[in-house]
Homo-oligomer: A and B are copies of this chain.
Amino acid sequence: MAETLNIDVSRQGLRDITGEVAAAVSRQADGDGVCHVFIQHTSASLLVQENADPSARHDLEQWLNRLVPENDPLYTHTMEGPDDMPAHIKAALTACSLSLPVEQGRLALGTWQGIYLWEHRHHPGRRRVLVHVSP
């Protein structure tokens, strides 16, 4: 059964969840397989991205904020606040599920890869991320 990670998120942006996912993998598997990560929300998403220089993540956030700005006159779905519709669009352009290789109970990521929860709202609260290792 998938393990649910409850991730407390306080603000918009990229939050590193590599440690939480790796710990869930080690609880479920000691062999080889695939780790499936899924986020149960439509205004936050998942991303594998460079974990070294924070400036790369900063630019990525800024770039997407510029591509999908708040208060675009195109939006009709505005009842839940100016950050809601951009959040749905950003989630659609990124991923809700990731499938990551596992070798001997460990995530086989590249040297510079981290797993991020990309929060697209300003005041999100708790996010649910499900982790399941398949053989």
Contact = CB atoms under 8 A, between A and B. Distances in A.
A21 interface: no
Contacts of A43: 50
Given A56-B77, A63-B74, A135-B135, 12 more contacts: A1-B32, A36-B101, A41-B112, A42-B48, A49-B91, A56-B88, A59-B76, A63-B72, A92-B94, A93-B94, A97-B98, A101-B132
Contacts of A88: 49-50, 56, 59-60
Contacts of A132: 32-34, 101
Interface in A65-120: 66-68, 72, 74-77, 79, 84-85, 88-89, 91-101, 103, 108-113
A47 B75 CA distance: 19
B96 A48 contact: yes
Interface residues of A, number: 61
Contacts of A100: 38, 97
A130 B101 contact: yes
Given A33-B132, A59-B74, A132-B33, A99 B99 contact: yes
Given A42-B50, A128-B110, A89 B74 contact: no
